[in-house]
Structures are given as C-alpha cells and as structure tokens.
Amino acid sequence: MSKYQSYKETVLEYSQLLSQRRYTVGTGGNISMLIEGEDLIAITPTSMDYFGIHVDDICIVDFNLELLEGKFKPSIETAMHIEVYKNRRDVNAIMHTHQVYASIFALINESIPAIFDEVTFNVGHSIDVIPYGLSGSHQLSQNVIHQISNRCNCYIIQNHGALSMGISMENAFRNVELLEKAARSYYYALSSGRPITRLPDMVVKGLCEQLYERQDKEIARKKLLRENR
C-alpha cells in the first residue's frame, strides 16, 4: 500500500462527489491535494471518468512534474495546480470544475462581487475572472498565478470553468458550493433588471481580514513544519 494512500482516497472521494453534485461531468475538471510537508501532490489522472477509476489510479506528482505513482498520465492541468501551491502557501487542496452557473460568468467574462457575508468570509472580496488560456498551457498557468495574488479562494476561468481552493479538501469543496450559490443568485438578480445591492465596504474588509488571518496561520504552521523536518 502506498504511503500516500489517505491522500489518494480523499482525492478520489471528492472527485466522485463533484460528479454526483454535477459540478463537473464525464472526465471534465480535476482535483488535487498537497502532501503534508512535501513538494508533492495527489491529483486525478487525465481524461478518465471519476466513477471508472480506482484509488491506485490517483497520481502522485512532484513539483518538477515527475510522476512518482500512478498508472496513467496526471491531469493536463497538473502544472497549473502546482503553480497555485507554490504561490499560495495557505492552499492545501484545489478543485477545477465546470459547474454550470459559474461557467455562465466564464462566458460573459464578468466577475461576481461581494453579495453574501458567508461567501465573502470563506471566498474573499470578489470572484474574479482569470483570462483565457488553452487547457494545460503555460499561458493559463501564468494567468492563474497573476490572479491568485488577491488571496481569494474562488475564480472563474474565462471560457472554461472555475477554480476553487482551500486550506483543506473539505474547505475547498465548501468553496465550490459557495461559488455556485453566489453565481446562481447573481445570475438571477442580473436577469431581474433591478438594482443589485452589495455588501458594505467595511463589512467586506472585516470579513476578509478574518479570512487572511486563517490563511496566515496556515502559512505559519507549514513553515514551522518544514523548519522542524
């Protein structure tokens, strides 16, 4: 049994959960999880139905894109996932989805502002659009790196789908659901033609400060872990 078995099991479990909740379909999307204390990730294989794979099919890949475990090629977006982990030290899990309502905003190229306090508390001050890049391309990875510096946890990828992340896999999945809630509500609000209210700036500032505090604590925890290795 692999020493990374628990990571593989978690990635497979949430991959199938995403399909069950229709946040992605078929072989679309991908999920990864950072291996604690190492420059390694567990990530879904490319172009395979989540209900057709076994736990041993989940790939273990290092930060140099070398496949250490797994019978199949890792996700085409593996480089993008690794760049997120390198540039956002608070992140331990990433979900790339093709969820319907977030994808609407990927097509109209419009970000979602702070409209609910629960979403803002977990996701950040906005859900911005990452400019288009071909799937698996270096350009897409660079576009992602540029955008995630705003410390938010959810993004829309232009003409593609969505990207959600979190301190844990559970947290990342919750952010996927909060993203869809915000996107669905904002879509219908826009369709009404009525003015849309946003959260007051001071409320957004306070909620984001709490989010940043949680992120900073995780960054400090991981730094201490590395120093004590």
Residues known to be catalytic: 77
Residues 6+ apart with CB under 8 A from 43: 11, 30, 31, 32, 33, 58, 59, 61, 74, 75, 78, 81
Structure tokens at 120: 């803002």
Distance of CA 84 to the CA centre of its chain: 9
- Half-sphere exposure in the Cβ direction for 197 (13 Å, CA): 4
- The helix-helix angle for 138-147 and 78-87 (nearest 10°) equals 30
CB contact at 8 A, 45 and 72: yes
Query: What gap in Å lies between CA 60 and CA 87, rounded to an integer?
Result: 20
Residues 6+ apart with CB under 8 A from 124: 150, 151, 152, 153, 154, 208, 211
Query: What gap in Å lies between CA 179 and CA 168, rounded to an integer?
Result: 16
- The helix-helix angle for 169-192 and 100-108 (nearest 10°) equals 60
Query: What gap in Å lies between CA 43 and CA 166, rounded to an integer?
Result: 15
